[in-house]
Amino acid sequence: MKNLKDIFYLEMAYALAEKAKGWANPNPYVGTVIVHKDVIVGHGYHVKSGQLHAEALALQRAGPLSRNSTAYITLEPCVHWGKTPPCTEAILQARLKRVVISALDPNPLVFKKGFKKIKQAGIEVSSGLLEEKNRRLNEVYLKYITKKIPFVIAKAAISVDGKIATRKFSSRWISSQQTREYFHLLRGEYDVLMVGINTLIKDDPLLTVRHPNWKGKKIVRVILDSHLRFPLGAKILSTLSQGKIIVFSLKKASQKKADALRKKGVEIISFSSQTLDLKEVLSWLGKNEMSSVLVEGGSRVLTSMFEKKLVDKIIISISPKLIGGKQAPSLLQGEGAGFIKNSLHLKRTNSFQIDEDIIMEGYL
């Protein structure tokens, strides 16, 4: 009975944590529920970096009723000072009777330390319940906090024969309107939207978050542009209020063009290497607290990301169309695998249907 109650209240805490998606980055998504004699007396989730953590907010709402209560927390409470005080201190001061933690925090500053501090204070504490749920919810954070590089998602709309455009590079629209709306909804969950310069030149996209569920949401736009071919009249330059634009290029590119783009508000990051190193790009983003990157193409960028094994997750829509043509770009080009055993194999796959399209997700 106790275990069923714990699951029930932890599920509620996870429902709160889900609300932080796309807003709390690079911090984890955390929810907390405080229960006293089967009555919820406090609840909260970590809304945004710099604001109160879920535990502190829930305890603040519970006030004196938190004494001798049980706290249900989706992730191990922090023990260190950051932008906010340690959550373990708030827990000890609240004089809780019991703490149920779903998952331990892999952050080296926290891992097992929060659990240990609560236990040493004489409070009954447990962990591990619904841990898999936390792994799925915080997949971005789990990679970022341990490796200091962003979690990378490759997204594409393809035909049944794997094409992302025709031989004339026409791609509007392979997927249905409903599918495109779903992908716009997904955009808001991530920190960075990345494309190659060819996509910018051919499609002239805005690369903004426009779904009504994400009012006020900004996203960093990253353009991979070795030789600074970025058009000075591109539509994206009118959207700087909706997120920064960062162009990664090489130092040998035109400094005159770089200065012109800077005057328009674009940030230019130049590398001294002969070719643009995608690992170096991701490392730079990680150092600047960008924890997730959604790669939307084109084919050269996606292929390079796959070949260098930099993609963590793939989300594709497969539409009931046959495009054909040797010159039509595919999702994955390059030399390709010589044997099936050497092909990239998706794990933990999931699929569902939107209109006539099949949406497939998997991990590499």
Domains along the chain with CATH numbers:
1-137 (3.40.140.10), 147-361 (3.40.430.10)
Sign of the four-CA dihedral 352, 191, 193, 213? positive
Q: Is the pLDDT at 323 greater than 70, yes or no?
A: yes
Q: What is the mean pLDDT of residues 201-209?
A: 93
Q: What is the mean pLDDT of residues 261-276?
A: 94
Q: Is the pLDDT at 245 greater than 80, yes or no?
A: yes
What amino acid positions are annotated as catalytic residues?
55
The CA angle 356-314-285, to the nearest 5 degrees, is 135
Q: What is the mean pLDDT of residues 114-130?
A: 94
> CA-based diameter of the chain, in Å?
70
Peptide bond into 26 cis (omega under 30): yes
Distance CA 237, CA 194 (A): 15
Least confident of 115-119, 175-179, 233-237, 340-344: 340-344
Q: Is the pLDDT at 335 greater than 90, yes or no?
A: no
**Is 153:190 a contact under the CB 8 Å cutoff?**
yes
First to last CA, the chain: 39
**Is 194:284 a contact under the CB 8 Å cutoff?**
no
What pLDDT score does 104 carry? 96
Q: What is the mean pLDDT of residues 109-125?
A: 93
Q: How far is CA 149 from CA 82, 167, 312, in A?
A: 20, 35, 11
Q: Is the pLDDT at 86 greater than 90, yes or no?
A: no
Q: Is the pLDDT at 332 greater than 90, yes or no?
A: no
Q: Is the pLDDT at 82 greater than 80, yes or no?
A: no
User: What is the pLDDT confidence band of residue 84, given thresholds at 50, 70 and 90?
Assistant: confident
User: What is the pLDDT confidence band of residue 336, given thresholds at 50, 70 and 90?
Assistant: confident
What pLDDT score does 337 carry? 82
What pLDDT score does 2 carry? 63
**Is 23:48 a contact under the CB 8 Å cutoff?**
yes
What pLDDT score does 1 carry? 52
What's the chain's average pLDDT? 93
What pLDDT score does 91 carry? 92
Residue type, 275: T
User: 126-158, pLDDT tens digit by residue?
Assistant: 999 999 999 999 999 999 999 999 999 999 999
Task: Note the residue count of the chain.
Answer: 364
User: 8-59, pLDDT tens digit by residue?
Assistant: 999 999 999 999 999 999 999 999 999 999 999 999 999 988 888 999 999 9
> What stretch of H or E contains 364?
none
> What stretch of H or E contains 175?
none
Q: Counting beta carbons within 10 angstroms of the beta carbon of residue 314, is it exposed (0 to 12), middle (13 to 18) or buried (19 or more)?
A: buried
Extended beta strands in the chain, E state: 31-36, 39-45, 70-75, 98-103, 124-127, 151-159, 192-196, 220-224, 245-250, 267-271, 292-295, 313-319, 347-354, 357-363
Q: What is the mean pLDDT of residues 80-107?
A: 89
Cα Rg of the chain, angstroms: 23
Q: Counting beta carbons within 10 angstroms of the beta carbon of residue 177, is it exposed (0 to 12), middle (13 to 18) or buried (19 or more)?
A: exposed
User: 179-198, pLDDT tens digit by residue?
Assistant: 999 999 999 999 999 999 99
Contacts 24+ apart (CB under 8 A), 61-65: 61/34, 62/34, 62/36, 62/94, 65/34, 65/36, 65/41
Of the chain, the percentage scoring pLDDT greater than 70 comes to 99
Q: Is the pLDDT at 83 greater than 80, yes or no?
A: no
Q: Is the pLDDT at 98 greater than 80, yes or no?
A: yes
What pLDDT score does 343 carry? 86
User: 57-80, pLDDT tens digit by residue?
Assistant: 999 999 999 999 999 999 999 997
What pLDDT score does 165 carry? 87
What pLDDT score does 160 carry? 93
Q: Is the pLDDT at 259 greater than 90, yes or no?
A: yes
Structure tokens at 242: 């909706």
Q: How far is CA 284 from CA 116, 123, 246, 287, in A?
A: 34, 42, 11, 5
